[in-house]
Amino acid sequence: MAHRNTVFAQLTTFLPRSFFAKVVGWFQGDFRVRRFPCWNQLCSMLYGQVSGSDSLRDLETGFNAQRFSHYHMGVSDVHRSTLADANERRPWRIYMGLFHALLCRFQDVKPSRPARIANKICTWDSTTIELCLSVFDWAQFRQTKGAIKLHVKYDHGHSIPTVFVVTDGKTHDLTVARRYPVEKNSVLLMDRAYTDFTFLHGVNQQGAFFVTRLKSNIRYRVVERRRANRKQGITSDQIIRLTGRKTRDTYPDTLRRIRYVNPKDGKVYVFLTNHFTWAATTIARLYKCRWQVELFFKWIKQHLKVKTFLGTSLNAVMTQICIAMIVFVLVALIKHRSRCSLSMLHVQRKIKSCLFHRLDLDTVIHGPPTQPSSCNENQLLLNLN
């Protein structure tokens, strides 16, 4: 009978092990470590994320119960005190580097085309994760509340985050978005929190496009009126120029203003973009794609451990968030390579239910073959003539 590694062992084969060893060496993660190297820490935290362990004791019990299934991976038993010390002391940037290396696996994955356009579509957004201020005293958000903010640049073509930054809860979304350049000819989708015309003009100067919502207090002058297709919900399509005392200097070029009424609920949306050739309905569909990042935040909060943490220090929290992002990218990579129509949640549940079973990963995703393999009747009858 052919030997099969466990499903958990097959998950780790997607990780660039040699690069991970280099990153550990760069940050001296295994310096003076004898029994619990960074690879053991990574595997145990991966198990905690996939299995949904609620505490260090839960992770220790479940992981050590399968010691005969993961010993061949070079991983020993885990003790909760040792894991807690590793999460507090090992640099979290080791796992941030592994996350970015794992993104390279998507280079040979053909991206989808949301809104039927060939341009790369990305979204900047953030979500707030509330923390107990008495436990996480370094994460002060308000006088009696603690929180951190997770900023994400979401790639709609591959349905994965390509950049994530964790800051304190008071940091504005634009502060993080300004740090990163924008790819030429890409499309950036943003909500009204990113409507800063200095930032938008920088996106325009880099040869990229943006789609956002116009604030109600922005002053402008209509330069040109285009024909609007009211049957599809477009009530106005205009070329405008900003006339505010500050905005006309920060964004001196023309912009496109589109007013859209959702036929389902009658809600009115006013979009602002620097693309002048796409149909107005295409702009409306593009902004609708931005909702995918909200679903991403909902997914990781419900199905990964990014709200309850196994450590209280900043390093432990950052380590757990980095490994949670690694797990999400791993599940997305398996879904893409298996070419299945299942949702991310369905794929994650299948992996979780068979984590230490010795099954091929394709069999876990697609199920066993429905037809038995063909055989020769003479072999069944032992007829050698």
How many whole angstroms separate alpha carbon 147 and alpha carbon 135?
Answer: 11
- Two tokens, residue 153: 């640049």
Judge whether residue 381 has pLDDT over 70: no
Is the model more confident about 68 or about 276? Answer: 276
Q: Give me the pLDDT at residue 383, please.
A: 56
Q: What number of other Cβ atoms are within 10 A of residue 179's Cβ?
A: 10
The shares of helix, strand and coil residues in the chain, as percent rounded to the nearest 5, are 45, 20, 40
Q: Where are the alpha helices (DSSP H) in 27-162?
A: 38-51, 56-64, 67-70, 80-89, 93-103
Region 51-57: mean pLDDT is: 93
Q: What number of other Cβ atoms are within 10 A of residue 347's Cβ?
A: 18
Judge whether residue 375 has pLDDT over 60: no
How many whole angstroms separate alpha carbon 19 and alpha carbon 23?
Answer: 6
Q: How many secondary structure helices (H) and strands (E) does the chain include?
A: 16, 9
pLDDT tens-digit readout, 301-315: 999 999 999 999 999
pLDDT band for 1, please (50, 70, 90 cuts): very low
Helix (H, G, I), strand (E, B) or coil at 273: strand
Region 183-202: mean pLDDT is: 94
Helix 344-353 to helix 314-338 angle (10° resolution) is 100
How many whole angstroms separate alpha carbon 382 and alpha carbon 384?
Answer: 6
Q: Give me the pLDDT at residue 274, please.
A: 96
pLDDT tens-digit readout, 58-112: 999 999 998 888 877 888 899 999 999 999 999 999 999 999 999 998 888 888 8
Name residue, tokens 């109600």.
Answer: 216
Share of the chain above pLDDT 70, in %: 95
- Two tokens, residue 208: 């990229």
Check: CB of residue 337 under 8 Å from CB of residue 109.
Answer: yes
| Displacement of CA 71 from its chain's centroid (Å) | 30
Q: For the full predicted model, state whether its pTM sits above 0.85.
A: yes
Q: Where are the alpha helices (DSSP H) in 270-370?
A: 280-289, 291-303, 314-338, 344-353, 361-366
Q: Is 288 left (phi over 0), alpha (psi -120 to 50) or beta?
A: alpha
pLDDT band for 220, please (50, 70, 90 cuts): very high
